[in-house]
Amino acid sequence: MTSKSFNNKVKLNDIVSVTDFGAVGDGVTDDTAAIQAALAASLHVVFPEGDYIITSALTLRDYHNVEGLAGRGGSNIYATGCSVFTGNGAEQISIKNFRLYGDETAGTFGVYIYNCPRGAHLESIYADNFGDTTYDGTLGTTSGAGFKLEFECWGSRLIGLAAERCAAGIILDSASASAIIAGSVRQNGGPALVLRGCNGTSVNGGVFEKAQPAYGAVATKGYSVQVLDSNNISLSGVYTEQSIDGAIKVDGSENVTISSCLMDGVNTSVEFGLLYLKNSTNVTCASCYIEGLDSSLGPGKACIYVDATSSNNTFISNELERDGGVGSGNYTIYDLGSNNVYINNKGATGARVGSTNTNLSGVYAQGPLIKSSRDALSQITIAGGIVTVTGHYHSIATEGGASTDDLDTINGGYDGQRVVFRAADTTDTVVVKHNTGNIRLQSGGDFSLDSWVDTVELIYDDSLSVWLEVGRTNIA
Phi, psi of 22 (to 5 degrees): 105, 0
Q: Which of 20-24, 349-353, 375-379 has the highest mean pLDDT?
A: 20-24
Q: Cβ-count burial of 428 within 10 angstroms (0-12 exposed, 13-18 middle, 19+ buried)?
A: middle
281, 350, 349: which is closest to 312 by C-alpha? 281
Return the pLDDT at 373.
44
Return the pLDDT at 387.
96
Amino acid at 97: N
Range of weakest confidence among 37-46, 346-355, 454-463: 346-355
Return the pLDDT at 41.
95
Return the pLDDT at 20.
95
Return the pLDDT at 4.
42
Mean pLDDT score of the chain, rounded to an integer? 85
Return the pLDDT at 297.
61
Phi, psi of 63 (to 5 degrees): 65, 20
Asked if 142 contacts 189 with a C-beta cutoff of 8 angstroms, the reply is: no
Asked if 133 contacts 144 with a C-beta cutoff of 8 angstroms, the reply is: no
Asked if 327 contacts 295 with a C-beta cutoff of 8 angstroms, the reply is: yes
Q: Cβ-count burial of 382 within 10 angstroms (0-12 exposed, 13-18 middle, 19+ buried)?
A: buried
Chain segment 110-119, per-residue pLDDT in tens: 999 999 988 8
Range of weakest confidence among 2-6, 242-246, 295-299: 2-6
Chain segment 445-464, per-residue pLDDT in tens: 999 998 888 999 999 998 89
CA atoms 309, 189, 261, 348: torsion sign: negative
Q: Would you say residue 415 has pLDDT above 50?
A: yes
Which residues face 102 on adjacent strands? none
Return the pLDDT at 357.
47
Q: Would you say residue 306 has pLDDT above 80?
A: yes
d(CA 315, CA 330): 19
Q: Would you say residue 405 has pLDDT above 90?
A: yes
d(CA 336, CA 118): 41
Q: What percent of the chain has pLDDT above 90?
A: 58
Chain segment 184-242, per-residue pLDDT in tens: 998 888 889 999 999 999 999 999 986 544 334 444 457 889 999 999 999 999 999 86
Mean pLDDT across 354-375: 43
| Domains of the chain as residue ranges with CATH | 3-374 (2.160.20.10), 377-473 (2.60.120)
Mean pLDDT across 101-111: 95
Chain segment 277-293, per-residue pLDDT in tens: 999 999 999 999 998 77
| CA angle at 226 for the pair 323 and 229, rounded to the nearest 5° | 135
Range of weakest confidence among 21-35, 187-201, 216-230, 313-327: 216-230
Return the pLDDT at 189.
80
**Single pTM value for the model:** 0.74
39, 47, 109, 102: which is closest to 75 by C-alpha? 47
Q: Would you say residue 443 has pLDDT above 80?
A: yes
Q: What percent of the chain has pLDDT above 70?
A: 82
- Higher per-residue confidence, 361 vs 384: 384
The greatest distance separating any two alpha carbons of the chain, rounded to the nearest whole angstrom, comes to 108
Asked if 146 contacts 127 with a C-beta cutoff of 8 angstroms, the reply is: yes
Residues in the chain: 476
Q: Would you say residue 298 has pLDDT above 70?
A: no
Buried b (16+ CB within 10 A) or exposed e, 293-327: bbeebeeebbbbbbbeebbebbbbebbbbeeebbb
